[in-house]
Amino acid sequence: MHTGLYHALDFTKDGKSLDFLAIPFSIDRSPYYQVKVPVCRIRNGDGPRVLLMAGNHGDEYEGELLLGRLFRRLDPARIRGELTILPVANAPAVMAARRRSPLDDGNLNRAFPGDAGGTPTARLAHFLEHELFARHDVVFDIHSGGTSMAHLPCALIERQGPPDRLARALELMRALGMPYGFVAENGALAPTSMAAAARAGAIGLSGEFGGGGTVTPDTMRLTARAIDNLLMAVGVTQEPILEAPAAAPAPMQLLQLDSHRQGIYALRRGWFEPVVDVGARVAAGDLAGWLHDLTRLDVPEEALRFRESGIVISRRLHTDSEAGDCLIQVARPVEEADILARAA
């Protein structure tokens, strides 16, 4: 009773329901406290099984807002198959407007495969990977840059699983209709939701849909279209639910981060001034920004230069930076053939 994770979900029941994953965790205010993670189910017979989640990191809002709206708006009669929706997956982090849970400092996207007897975040990760992801064909985990980071809006997959599954993941990623698609190299044992989905036998899709701890009309539109497009591509829905149909998007540019040389890190306390923004095309040797030292006004600001060419994919939003903070990252444009050739 004082550990584990329990729920009363019936995965065979048609219709629409709102339930909770409950994680007992005794706290000062409440000895019998349970972390309650809302879980929405919509089912209409057999068919594709899709899990949509947001709030893996608490301060990334496009998915959180849109998945709630999707659940309210979607009539089970309009779908085929089943949807499981977790709009605020790491609920304590969402309620604290933080990336990680304040209960245990748990970063859900670094907590997989989790621990059934661990902290609340570890127990949640364990349940997701071993029980919930395994019940679905596709897992779509919606992220953004969060409070501290601006991010190029891009879909994301990890290079996971056999070549045919990677090819299907690339196909579904293109179907999202995003301007960029990023193929991450995190390895089969990675602590991320995408690696967890692969270990559970599902296709994992993700993406960075905004940043800065806020949403904009543009990021909401892009994210709504991506959700609609995915549901139509896998055959759950026949028409958009969240957005009016859009003109066909421009072809997706695929990107890769595969070297630590693609990031520029602070090596000491400093104040970061970028001179380029996300989306800029840059060459190795170009100026990325300046690191000021407000404690040493006699010392000139340090020039930070890119070591690799490509497209700026993310940058730190907080000017005040510590040693170890990633200030800016550049991704390498790639072709699909290169990615598939490396997987074969």
Q: How many CB atoms lie within 10 A of CB 298?
A: 5
- CA 227 to chain centroid, in Å, comes to 13
Least distance in angstroms from the C-beta of 176 to Zn ion: 17
Interface region with Zn ion, contact rule CB under 5 A, candidates 13-21, 56-64, 150-158, 190-198: 56-64
Task: Looking at residues 132 to 161 of the shown chain, list those that interact with Zn ion (rule: CB under 5 A).
Answer: 143
**Nearer CB in complex with Zn ion: 98/159:** 98
Least distance in angstroms from the C-beta of 59 to Zn ion: 8
Interface region with Zn ion, contact rule CB under 5 A, candidates 50-58, 67-75, 265-273, 309-317: 50-58
Q: Is 98 in the site for Zn ion (CB under 5 A)?
A: no
Least distance in angstroms from the C-beta of 99 to Zn ion: 7
User: Residues 112, 191: contact at Cβ < 8 Å?
Assistant: yes
**Nearer CB in complex with Zn ion: 57/225:** 57
Least distance in angstroms from the C-beta of 183 to Zn ion: 17
Least distance in angstroms from the C-beta of 192 to Zn ion: 10
Q: What is the rounded CA–CA span in Å between residue 107 and residue 143?
A: 13
Least distance in angstroms from the C-beta of 180 to Zn ion: 16
Task: Looking at residues 184 to 223 of the shown chain, list those that interact with Zn ion (rule: CB under 5 A).
Answer: none
Q: Is 57 in the site for Zn ion (CB under 5 A)?
A: yes
Interface region with Zn ion, contact rule CB under 5 A, candidates 51-59, 222-230, 285-293, 315-323: 51-59
Q: What is the rounded CA–CA span in Å between residue 181 and residue 77?
A: 32
User: Residues 197, 204: contact at Cβ < 8 Å?
Assistant: yes
Identity of the amino acid at 51: L
In this structure, the strands spanning 281-282 and 310-316 are: antiparallel
**Nearer CB in complex with Zn ion: 57/100:** 57
Least distance in angstroms from the C-beta of 313 to Zn ion: 14
Q: Is 100 in the site for Zn ion (CB under 5 A)?
A: no
**Nearer CB in complex with Zn ion: 208/308:** 208
109: left (phi over 0), alpha (psi -120 to 50) or beta: alpha
Q: Distances in Å between the alpha carbon of 109 and those of 192, 308, 319, 326?
A: 5, 27, 25, 18
**Nearer CB in complex with Zn ion: 48/146:** 146
Pinpoint the alpha helices (H) of the chain: 61-73, 91-95, 120-127, 163-175, 193-199, 217-233, 336-343
**Nearer CB in complex with Zn ion: 100/143:** 143
Q: What is the rounded CA–CA span in Å between residue 57 and residue 206?
A: 13
DSSP state of 319: S
Compute how many residues bind Zn ion; rule: CB under 5 A.
3
> Footprint of Zn ion on this chain (CB under 5 A)?
57, 60, 143
